Amino acid sequence: MTGWTRLGLDVSRCVGVGQCELLEPDLFRVDDDTGTATIVGEPELPSQRAKAIVDQCPSGAIQIDNNINPTLPKLPDTD
């Protein structure tokens, strides 16, 4: 996997462990009131990092977003 990958978050599957916020605090935040994560930053990461975040989510709530809007600007490929 090379380049950049966009992440999605299914809040209905989130159990609020906070692993995502620990690993990517500029991207994820666990809401104290709801106990679920939200995306607070640009959800694109280098592909290997994105895969690692997906793999570390215990509930499977973080997933690769395959429905990227093609009109959104793409981040440069650094590989």
Specify whether the CB–CB gap between 4 and 12 falls below 8 A: no
Domains of the chain, by residue range, sit at 4-64
| Helix ranges (DSSP H) in 1-79 | 19-23, 47-56
Phi, psi of 13 (to 5 degrees): -100, -15
Per-residue pLDDT of the chain (79 residues; tens, 9 = 90+): 469 999 999 999 999 999 999 999 999 999 999 999 999 989 999 999 999 999 999 999 999 987 754 444 445 555 5
The pLDDT, as a whole number, for residue 9 is 94
Neighbours of 45 (CB within 10 A): 20
Specify whether the CB–CB gap between 54 and 64 falls below 8 A: yes
Sign of torsion over alpha carbons 43, 45, 51, 52? negative
**pTM confidence score:** 0.77
Architecture in CATH of 4-64? 2-Layer Sandwich (3.30)
